[in-house]
Amino acid sequence: MATDRSNPAAIEIELAGTDGDQVATVTVRGDLDAVAAPGLREALADVIDRSPVVVRIDMAGVDFLDSVGISVLVASFNQATDAGVAFELASVPASSRRVLEITRLTDVLTIVD
């Protein structure tokens, strides 16, 4: 049975905290794939440009993560690092965590539960 990948991931952005302690949480639901990647890339670039202390990607609702989704996470991590912004992934589902482990990105990206 084929999986319908025509619906892009839903992306929600929440800024919380005070100026000196600001955390921007980006919640992603659905498939983080080639269809959703451009929207997530743009959303993360906008959030990083706001210069929060931390950008946290809440991945609890991610059903599928492919190489294009991974490339967006890595590019955004690099952009955040260059801007002096901490970047972390939160609530990563087991299937997505396994993909990150296989690609050894768990050695680079901060993952919190």
What is the value of pTM for the model shown?
A: 0.84
User: Can you give the pLDDT at residue 1?
Assistant: 37
User: Can you give the pLDDT at residue 3?
Assistant: 44
User: Can you give the pLDDT at residue 22?
Assistant: 86
Measured CA angle at 48 (ends 43, 50), to 5 deg: 100
| 82: exposed, middle or buried (Cβ count in 10 Å: 0-12, 13-18, 19+) | exposed
Separation of alpha carbons 99 and 82, rounded Å: 25
User: Can you give the pLDDT at residue 19?
Assistant: 57
- Non-local CB neighbours of 20 within 8 Å, separated by 6+ positions: 53
DSSP count for the chain of H helices, then E strands: 3, 5
The answer to whether residue 2 scores a pLDDT higher than 50 is no
The answer to whether residue 6 scores a pLDDT higher than 60 is no
The answer to whether residue 53 scores a pLDDT higher than 50 is yes
Domain limits of the chain? 10-112
Q: Which CATH number fits the domain 10-112, given the four candidates 3.30.1130.10, 3.40.50.620, 3.90.230.10, 3.30.750.24?
A: 3.30.750.24
Q: Where are the alpha helices (DSSP H) in 30-93?
A: 37-49, 67-82
